[in-house]
């Protein structure tokens, strides 16, 4: 199936490179650090609440996550957390912000091949500096004609992106791991979507129902896109 597409738009975190795994690792370290104050499930419960409450003010990304970890430490310790432990939490955030970029298997070859036949774009949400850093380290920039780092993947943000790309929903395909942020908004607009689930998903990005749609393809690996599009 060779489609008449203006753009194939790729999500980045957990679609092109590993992201959520590092959040899980940091969460585990936080739980270990705070275990003297509270059990793991309570720390995780408070952390998730703080993250959701803070999304509106801090947006997505590691810096906001770090502040949510600090608030969690304050709450579960009943403000008894030590300055040393606060420093440790700040370091956990910095460690994640400087983590090497690890591409998902098959990404580079797939983008190289697709870029010979299609215009590729990247659309990611999150912290601007961190996403720019990861893109640079990924070595993938040259495959994309357009890079969009959005504060959130809302319907309005996607509409603006398509307007900037001078295209219409029927002529784009979005590839991503998040049903909620990458797939559903695009299907709703009338675009094509390829869902490639990552093995772990942040609770906030989960949707409960299985989605079936004539313009939706579900793949296990990005490597399979070539079979759909070339
Ligand atoms: Mg993603």
Can you give the pLDDT at residue 191? 96
Confidence of residue 1 (pLDDT cuts 50, 70, 90): very low
Q: State the distance from the centre of ligand 1 to the C-alpha of 122, rounded, in angstroms.
A: 11
Q: State the distance from the centre of ligand 1 to the C-alpha of 83, rounded, in angstroms.
A: 34
Can you give the pLDDT at residue 47? 98
Alpha-helical (H) ranges within the chain are 20-34, 40-58, 62-76, 83-97, 107-115, 128-138, 155-164, 184-189, 225-229
Q: State the distance from the centre of ligand 1 to the C-alpha of 154, rounded, in angstroms.
A: 14
Q: State the distance from the centre of ligand 1 to the C-alpha of 142, rounded, in angstroms.
A: 20
Lowest pLDDT segment from 82-91, 166-175, 201-210: 201-210
pLDDT tens, position by position, 62-76: 999 999 999 999 999
pLDDT > 90? residue 204: no
pLDDT > 80? residue 209: no
Can you give the pLDDT at residue 78? 98
Can you give the pLDDT at residue 68? 98
Q: What is the mean predicted confidence (pLDDT) over 172-182? A: 96
pLDDT tens, position by position, 115-136: 999 999 999 998 999 999 999 9
In terms of C-beta density within 10 A (0-12 exposed, 13-18 middle, 19 or more buried), how is residue 183 classed?
Answer: buried
Can you give the pLDDT at residue 29? 98
Instruction: Judge contact between 125 and 176, C-beta under 8 A.
Output: no
Q: State the distance from the centre of ligand 1 to the C-alpha of 77, rounded, in angstroms.
A: 33
Q: State the distance from the centre of ligand 1 to the C-alpha of 17, rounded, in angstroms.
A: 9
Q: What is the mean predicted confidence (pLDDT) over 17-24? A: 96
Q: State the distance from the centre of ligand 1 to the C-alpha of 46, rounded, in angstroms.
A: 23
């Amino acid at each position: 199936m060779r489609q008449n597409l203006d753009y194939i738009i790729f999500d980045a975190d957990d679609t092109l490179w590993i992201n959520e795994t590092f959040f899980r690792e940091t969460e585990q370290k936080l739980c270990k650090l705070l275990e003297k104050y509270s059990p793991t499930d309570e720390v995780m419960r408070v952390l998730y609440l703080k993250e959701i409450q803070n999304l509106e003010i801090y947006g997505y990304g590691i810096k906001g996550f770090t502040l949510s970890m600090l608030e969690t430490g304050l709450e579960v310790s009943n403000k008894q957390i030590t300055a040393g432990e606060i420093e440790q939490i700040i370091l956990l955030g910095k460690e994640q912000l400087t983590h090497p970029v690890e591409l998902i298997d098959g990404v580079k070859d797939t983008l190289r091949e697709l870029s010979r036949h299609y215009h590729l774009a990247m659309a990611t949400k999150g912290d601007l500096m961190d996403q720019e850093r990861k893109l640079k380290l990924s070595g993938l920039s040259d495959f994309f004609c357009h890079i969009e780092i959005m504060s959130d993947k809302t319907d309005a943000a996607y509409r603006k992106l398509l307007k900037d790309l001078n295209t219409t929903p029927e002529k784009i395909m979005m590839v991503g791991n998040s049903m909620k942020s990458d797939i559903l908004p695009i299907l709703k607009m009338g675009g094509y979507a390829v869902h490639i689930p990552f093995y772990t998903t942040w609770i906030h990005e989960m949707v409960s129902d299985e989605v079936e749609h004539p313009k939706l393809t579900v793949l296990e690996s990005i490597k399979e896109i070539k079979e759909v599009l070339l």
